[in-house]
Structure 1
Amino acid sequence: MSAMTPRSAPRRARAPRRSGAALLAAATAALLLPAAPATAAPHRVDTSCRTRPEKGEPLPPDVPKEPLAERLGLASAWDLTEGQGVMVGVIDSGVDRTHPELRAAVDAGSEFVMVRSKKEFERQEPEPDADCEGHGTAVAGIIAASRGGETRIAGVAPRARIHPVRMVDGVDRSSPRALAAAIDDAVDAGSTVLNLSLALPVDRAEVRRAIARAVARDVVVVAAAGNEGLRGTKVYPAAYDGVIAVAAVGDDGTVMEESNSGDWVDLAAYGDGLVFPAAGGSGYRTDQGTSYAAPQVAGAAALLRSRFPDLSAAQIGERLTASADPLGGADDTRAGAGLVDPFAALTRLGPATSDAVRPKEGSGRVPLQALPREEPWLSRQAATAVLWSAGLLCAIAAALFGAPAIRRAAARGWRPGHPGVRTHRVNRHPDRAAAPHADTLARLTRRAEPGHHPTTPATARQPSALTTHRTG
Structure 2
Amino acid sequence: MRGGHAVRRRLLLPGAAALLLAAGGLAHPPAADAAEPCRRAVTGEELPSGAGPLPLIEQLGLRQAWDLATGSGVTVAVIDSGVDARHPDLTGSVRRGSEFTIVRDATGYSRTTPEPEQDCEGHGTAVAGLVAARRAEGDRMTGVAPGAAVYPVRIADGVERATTEILAAAIDDAVAAGAGVINLSLAVPTDYEPIREAVARAVEADVVVVAAAGNEGNQGISGGRMYPAAYDGVLAVGAVGNDGQPLDSSNAGPWVDLAGYGADLAVVAPGGTGYRVESGTSFAAAQVSGTAALVRSRFPGLTAAEVARRLTDSATPVGGGRNDRTGAGLVDPFGALTDLGPAEAAEAPAARVPVRPLPPDEPLLGPTTATALAVSGGLLLAVVLGLLGAPAARRAARRGWRTGPDAAGDPLPAAAPARLDWLDGGDSRPDPRNRKR
Instruction: Return the TM-score normalized by structure 2.
Output: 0.69
Query: Residue 178 of structure 1 is aligned with which of 140, 161, 166?
Result: 166
Q: CA deviation at 1:54?
A: 2.7
Aligned residues: 313
Query: AA paired with 1:59?
Result: L
Which of 1 and 2 has greater Rg?
2
Could you say which residue in structure 1 is the equivalent of 2:297?
A: 306
Query: Residue 89 of structure 1 is aligned with which of 55, 70, 77?
Result: 77
Q: Which moved more, 1:174-183 or 1:324-333?
A: 324-333
Could you say which residue in structure 2 is the equivalent of 1:33?
A: none
Could you say which residue in structure 2 is the equivalent of 1:347?
A: 338
Give yes or no for the alignment of 1:336 onto 2:327. Answer: yes
Unaligned runs of 5+ in 2: 1-31, 347-437
Give yes or no for the alignment of 1:242 onto 2:233. Answer: yes
How far apart in 2 are the matches of 1:333 and 1:79?
Answer: 33
Q: CA deviation at 1:119?
A: 3.3
1:21-420 pair list within 5 angstroms = 45-149=33-137, 152-230=140-218, 233-328=224-319, 332-353=323-344
Could you say which residue in structure 2 is the equivalent of 1:456?
A: none
Aligned with 2:70: secondary structure? coil
Aligned with 2:324: secondary structure? helix
**Paired residues of 2:60 and 2:332 also in contact (CA < 8 A):** yes
Aligned with 2:183: secondary structure? strand
Q: CA deviation at 1:351?
A: 2.3
Query: AA paired with 2:123?
Result: H
| CA 81–132 in structure 1, closer or farther in 2 if over 3 Å, else same | same
How far apart in 1 are the matches of 2:167 and 2:345?
Answer: 32
How far apart in 2 are the matches of 1:84 and 1:331?
Answer: 31
**Paired residues of 1:67 and 1:153 also in contact (CA < 8 A):** no
Could you say which residue in structure 1 is the equivalent of 2:364?
A: none
Q: CA deviation at 1:354?
A: 9.1
**Paired residues of 1:134 and 1:279 also in contact (CA < 8 A):** yes
Q: CA deviation at 1:269?
A: 0.5
Q: CA deviation at 1:69?
A: 1.2
How far apart in 1 are the matches of 2:88 and 2:177?
Answer: 24
| CA 322–331 in structure 1, closer or farther in 2 if over 3 Å, else same | closer
Identity of aligned residues (%): 58
Aligned with 1:48: secondary structure? coil
Q: Which moved more, 1:321-330 or 1:148-157?
A: 148-157
Q: Which moved more, 1:149-158 or 1:292-301?
A: 149-158
Deviation string, structure 1 residues 368-417 (Cα, Å, up to 9, x no partner): xxxxxxxxxxxxxxxxxxxxxxxxxxxxxxxxxxxxxxxxxxxxxxxxxx
Query: AA paired with 2:282?
Result: S
1:438-449 pair list within 5 angstroms = none
| CA 306–51 in structure 1, closer or farther in 2 if over 3 Å, else same | same
| CA 267–144 in structure 1, closer or farther in 2 if over 3 Å, else same | same
Deviation string, structure 1 residues 222-279 (Cα, Å, up to 9, x no partner): 0000000107611100000000000000011110001000000000100012111101
- Runs of 4+ in structure 1 off by over 3 angstroms are 148-151, 352-355
Deviation string, structure 1 residues 111-135 (Cα, Å, up to 9, x no partner): 0000123331100000111101000
**Paired residues of 1:52 and 1:280 also in contact (CA < 8 A):** no
Query: AA paired with 2:253?
Result: G
How far apart in 2 are the matches of 1:171 and 1:129?
Answer: 18
Query: AA paired with 1:222?
Result: V
Aligned with 2:89: secondary structure? coil
**Paired residues of 1:97 and 1:129 also in contact (CA < 8 A):** yes
Q: CA deviation at 1:64?
A: 1.6
**Paired residues of 1:48 and 1:130 also in contact (CA < 8 A):** no
| CA 49–213 in structure 1, closer or farther in 2 if over 3 Å, else same | same
Q: CA deviation at 1:148?
A: 4.7
Aligned with 1:335: secondary structure? coil
Aligned with 1:227: secondary structure? coil
**Paired residues of 1:267 and 1:324 also in contact (CA < 8 A):** yes
Instruction: Return the TM-score normalized by structure 1.
Output: 0.64
| CA 235–281 in structure 1, closer or farther in 2 if over 3 Å, else same | same
Query: AA paired with 1:117?
Result: D
Unaligned runs of 5+ in 1: 1-43, 356-472
How far apart in 2 are the matches of 1:331 and 1:353?
Answer: 22
